[in-house]
Every structure is written in structure tokens, then in C-alpha cells.
Homo-oligomer: A and B are copies of this chain.
Amino acid sequence: MTTTADRKYWRTAIADPSPHEGTLVRGYDVLTDLVGKIDFGAMVYLLYKGELPKGNESKIINAMFISVADHGISPSSTVTRFVQAAGVPIQCSVAAGAMMFGDVHGGAGEEFARYIQELVSEAASSGRSYEDVATEYVGNHKRLDGFGHPQHPEGDPRGKRLFALAEEYGLAGDHIRMTRELEKALIKKKNRPLLANIDAAVGAIISDMGFDWRLARAFIVVPRTAGLFAHAFEESVREPGWRQITLDQVEYDGPARRKNDSPSAI
């Protein structure tokens, strides 16, 4: 099943499933080199970057994961709970909830990571100042993903906390700097504190660690599956087996009862 004489149907540089002591992940034997020696944050870094972290990257990944692991009853946990209540295996209920982190929600982090990486590259290649690049970008866009939060007019505390930790861990770099410039330009333009929210925080921090923007959703979805398992479990042990939608929750505004008087067409 080779596609050419030289290529197998599947190829990967992530892990080698052939028998060593354990699986090789990016060249390291899981059992002798990783288990008991690094934590899961470092493992995530290794999986996506191909190298073990050299500094505090694992700490900030742990911090981000903890920030987003659960938010109580939310659209995604609701979906997981409905599916679980229908008698579906727990990994499927969780998968249904995990699918929710699309363009509207978790996608904001992906989109932010994409454009903040572009802005930093643009500044680097053009030699323009971050302030200029940010001001121009803010001027050209009516609405910016990653800034502001309806519940937090003074700024999303999660964004603030994660940026402070990134500074403390020595991991704040060009992408956080560019994010700060965007905040400043936004404040000037809108005359109110439209600060980086959790999506922007995750997007900027993973960009400063050099992750590709297409991996941004991993930093939301992987930890959130942990929360979704908690919800699926709680639903099955505390709630009845089938979650009804009752008529008082629903408004039908389609056509009233009408007759189909045509003769049978089959």
C-alpha cells in the first residue's frame, strides 16, 4: 500500500510504535526518558515542538491548562451532558462537547495566534515599530478577535494573570509585546479598556513559545476534555437517564395545522 516505491501509506515524525522499551516520542523512550522525569506540560511541548523545553515552558502550559479546564455549565458541557444522558459511551459524549470549540469560541485563540504571528513577522521584515504596526492594524479592523469580555469591562482577569505568569517565568516575548501595543491602540481608538482576554492570552503565549497558530485549539481542547469527563460522569451519577426538553422551553412558530389533501403520491 505504498503510494510510491519509497513511501509508506502512513508516515510520522511524532512517535515510533515499533517495540522499544516503550514507545519513542520524538526520539525519547517514553518509559525510561519521560515518565517520572517530566510533567504533562513538558510532554505537550515535546509533542508539538519536537524538543523538550529548556525553561519554564511546562509551568506556563500547566497554568493555561488549569485556566481553561472547566467553566461549569457551558454550551460544551451541556452538549456532553445531553449526549451522556442518552446512554452513549463517555468518550463519545466528551467528543461531542469537544467539537464545540470551533470558529466562534476556541477559534478566537487560533485566529488571534495567526494574526499576532503575522504582525510580529511584518514588523521584523519591514523594520517598522510595533506601535506603528499595531496602530495600523487596529485602524484597519472594525472588530478584533481576542480583546474585551462582556462580563469583565475592566479586563479579563485570566488574560492578566497568564501574562503576569509569562513575565515571571521569563517567557514573555515579541508576541506579548505586540499584544500590548494592540491594547494601547485599541484604548486610544475606543476610549475604553478593551484588554486582551483569555483567547488572546493563550494565543500570544503559545506564539512566544514558537508554536504554530494551527495548534492553538489544542491548548483549549486538551485541558477542557478533562472538565467534560467530570460533567459526563456527574450527569450519569446524579441525573435521570434521559434529559427531556419540556414543552414550556419551546416555542413553535411554524405554520398552524393544515391538511394535505393531495392524493397519495406513492
Interface set of A (CB-CB < 8 Å, partner B):
1, 3, 7-31, 33-44, 47-48, 50, 52, 58-59, 61-63, 65-67, 69-79, 81-83, 85-92, 94-96, 98-107, 151-152, 157-158, 161-162, 165, 212, 214-215, 217-218, 221-223, 225-227, 229-231, 233-234, 236-238, 241-260, 262-266
Contact = CB atoms under 8 A, between A and B. Distances in A.
Contact of A99 (B63, B83, B85, B151): B83
7 contacts: A23-B72, A27-B254, A35-B63, A40-B62, A40-B223, A83-B96, A91-B102
Contacts of A82: 75, 78-79, 100
Contacts of A262: 37, 52
- Interface core residue of A72, A152, A234 (most chain B CB under 10 Å): A72
Contact of A88 (B92, B94, B161): B92
Contact of A255 (B26, B95, B165): B26
Contacts of A75: 82, 85-86, 242-245
A158 to B, nearest CB: 6
A259 B33 CA distance: 7
Nearest to A239: B11
Given A98-B225, A243-B75, A251-B8, A39 B36 contact: no
Can you list the 9 inter-chain pairs with the closest CB atoms, starting with the nearest? Answer: A27-B255, A1-B1, A87-B103, A13-B254, A87-B104, A33-B260, A15-B72, A218-B229, A17-B72
A234 B105 CA distance: 20
Given A15-B72, A79-B79, A157-B21, A87 B62 contact: no
Given A36-B266, A75-B243, 17 more contacts: A1-B248, A8-B250, A11-B252, A12-B250, A14-B70, A14-B234, A17-B252, A19-B152, A23-B71, A23-B72, A25-B69, A40-B61, A40-B66, A47-B69, A88-B103, A91-B217, A217-B229
A108 to B, nearest CB: 10
A105 B87 contact: yes
